[in-house]
Amino acid sequence: MRIDEVELGDELPEERPDVSLETVRRFVKAAQMDFPRFTDHDAARAEGLPGAVIPGIMSQGQLAAMIHRWAPGSSILKIDTVFRTPMIVGTPVVCRGAVTGVNDDDTVEIDLTILSEESGATGVLGTAHVRLADS
């Protein structure tokens, strides 16, 4: 994708990442953060959470993956995410992105969100500064 193909307000194709218990278990092992609050619903409830929660850094990785699929070969110069509401493992989520800036230096700004498909709650908000591959 070239910079002249991108317009302010463009929306990235929505994605529904795999947030199954099995995948979250694999992720937390790779991330060396294998805590029950991420992998065991009962243990998470005992901590006062509504269930096992998707790690915030996994959500950040899912948003980055969405950007890379939208703009193959692009480089994320910066990504910043805020974790607002716990997203529950095994409950479908949807990742969204919209272009909020097209810069003179051939980079773009993207607003990012992850919503729970069940409750509609916003779990993650973020922004990314991205250099496109052909820039």
Partner 1 sequence: MADVDIRAERERWVGTVFQEIELTVDPDRMLEWAVTAGETDPRFVDPTHPDFQASTAFPTHVNAARILPDDFPDFGTRGIDGGKSVEWHRPMRAGQTLRATVAIGDLYEKTGRSGTMVFIVNRMTFFDEQDRLVCIVDWRMIRSV
| Nearest distance in Å: CB 117, partner 1 | 16
Please answer whether residues 104 and 57 qualify as being in contact, where contact means their C-beta atoms are separated by less than 8 angstroms: no
**What are the helix (H) ranges across 1-135?**
21-30, 36-39, 41-46, 56-70
Amino acid in position 95: C
| Nearest distance in Å: CB 114, partner 1 | 12
Based on its alpha-carbon atoms, the radius of gyration of the chain, rounded to whole angstroms, reads 16
Give the binding site for partner 1 (CB under 8 A).
15, 17-18, 23-24, 26-27, 29-33, 56-58, 60-62, 64-66, 68-69, 72-73, 75-83, 126
- In the complex with partner 1, which residue's Cβ is closer, 7 or 32? 32
> What 8-state DSSP symbol labels residue 12?
P
- In the complex with partner 1, which residue's Cβ is closer, 9 or 128? 128
- In the complex with partner 1, which residue's Cβ is closer, 72 or 120? 72
